[in-house]
Amino acid sequence: MTRTEPAADGAADDPRIARLEAEASVLDDADPLRTHRDAFVGAETSLVYFDGNSLGRPLKATGERLAAFTRDEWGGRLIRGWDESWMQLPFEIGDAIGRGAIGAAGGQTIIGDSTTVLLYKLVRAAFDAAVAGDPARVEIVVDRDNFPTDRYLVEGIAAERGGRVRWIDVDVTSGVTPELLREAAGAQTAVVLLSHVAYRSGFLADAPALTRIAHEAGALIVWDLCHSAGSVPVEADAWDFDIAVGCTYKYLNGGPGSPAFAYVASRLQDRLVQPIQGWMGAADVFAMGPSYSPAAGMRRFLSGTPPIVGMLAMQDTLALIGSVGIEAIRAKSVALTDFAVRVADELLVPRGVAIASPREADARGGHVTLSHPAMRSVTARLWAQDVIPDYRDPGGLRIGLSPLSTSFAETLAGLRAVEAALPAEA
């Protein structure tokens, strides 16, 4: 099945399908970002990609960038590359993420390690700073439906530093609300760690309100921006964030395992001491001195040699975001997820599927989760046909709609494939 052909199942006679196809075609024609889809590898094939919220497609420009880097910079400049440009790359690309995707002025964002390692370093640094200010602040607040790495690492930090985890129970079809955080945060809170977009439900947290509540409780807040960076606008400075960390391999198309970014508000940088004290975060990297003294500013959050090759691909997406603007990307994302919800209501809800994501666009990020007990096997069936969503327990099929690389026709074709893959009795 291609994106535009009707399925060979008699659907051509089905007025619902004819109407939805007409609607997809109108939406694609009116989409101001539609031409950018062709800039991605594989856009010309019939494969339906619903997992750009997990691993974004590569841009065609990235192949040339990687080849040119190997030939000219790595191959041509060799070790001189470090002095000539690579040492600055974590800061330059960090600032580009700050500018284009997360509303951060320069000098507050870097590319570092994996999301997990950066979260560990910064949550621990924030915990230590809070306890140093007030020894009664021993709790880290996190929700039970946060991404596993976030939950696991706060348990480790609490054990390591003599703290406690304060869990927030949430509905898995939504996420942390201001009321829930108000109940959990107080004079005992050191750090709050929340995801801006919930990985399971796609719930979009009210980041400015939640940040205010954490600050009113006297705590620091760390935002996990993995599912928002490059898809949902973030205003780290205007919303008064303390710290944020996010993936670059999802909507920023950095490639498998590309390193994460970290934001630390300038007012906090010199108060935080992170635990992995390596030479690249030292005040004078090449002094090779007898003991560690942290660099001023963002360099102190680096540890070892920056993963330069892993930082190359995301630059192509950052250039694209710089040219179209994050607001236009969000508008397309909202239109795609609204369309997906409408199609799911027509084709899948009557077959026993539930929409396990917020229905209101302003409470939803870039993916929609469709729930049904058979979704694990449905996912396997779909992958075998080149329709690629992902699966998250319990029974959740995640439909990730990466705004720059996904069309409305592709969305409809994929959801029709989901309908066809549901068990007959469903």
Q: Which residues lie near ligand PLP (CB under 6 A)?
A: 114-116, 147, 149-150, 195, 199, 224, 226-227, 247, 260
Nearer to ligand PLP, 260 or 265 (CB): 260
Backbone angles phi, psi at 371, to 5 degrees: -115, 140
Q: What is the closest distance, in whole angstroms, from the C-beta atom of residue 325 to ligand PLP in the complex?
A: 24
* 198 half-sphere exposure, CB direction, 13 A CA radius: 28
Nearer to ligand PLP, 297 or 307 (CB): 307
| Peptide bond before residue 290 is cis, with ω within 30 degrees of 0 | no
First to last CA, the chain: 23
Please state, in angstroms and rounded to a whole number, the distance separating the CA atoms of residues 258 and 239.
Answer: 27
Q: Which residues are catalytic?
A: 147, 224, 249-250, 398
Residue 328 burial (CB count, 10 A): 16
Nearer to ligand PLP, 143 or 150 (CB): 150
Q: What is the closest distance, in whole angstroms, from the C-beta atom of residue 389 to ligand PLP in the complex?
A: 15
Please state, in angstroms and rounded to a whole number, the distance separating the CA atoms of residues 82 and 92.
Answer: 14
Q: Is the CA virtual torsion 125, 123, 257, 311 positive or negative? A: negative
Which residue matches tokens 């969305």? 411
Please state, in angstroms and rounded to a whole number, the distance separating the CA atoms of residues 333 and 197.
Answer: 13
Nearer to ligand PLP, 225 or 422 (CB): 225
β-strand pairing of 139-143 with 189-195: parallel
Q: What is the closest distance, in whole angstroms, from the C-beta atom of residue 44 to ligand PLP in the complex?
A: 28
Q: Is 48 helix (H, G, I), strand (E, B) or coil?
A: strand
Nearer to ligand PLP, 115 or 188 (CB): 115
Backbone angles phi, psi at 280, to 5 degrees: -75, -15
Report which DSSP code applies to 299: G
Q: Is 391 helix (H, G, I), strand (E, B) or coil?
A: strand
Nearer to ligand PLP, 17 or 356 (CB): 356
Q: What is the closest distance, in whole angstroms, from the C-beta atom of residue 209 to ligand PLP in the complex?
A: 20
Q: What is the closest distance, in whole angstroms, from the C-beta atom of residue 245 to ligand PLP in the complex?
A: 8
Q: What is the closest distance, in whole angstroms, from the C-beta atom of residue 260 to ligand PLP in the complex?
A: 6
* DSSP E strands, 112-225: 139-143, 164-168, 189-195, 220-224
Q: What is the closest distance, in whole angstroms, from the C-beta atom of residue 14 to ligand PLP in the complex?
A: 37
Nearer to ligand PLP, 86 or 199 (CB): 199
Residue of 91, 128, 126, 86 whose CA lies nearest to 108: 91
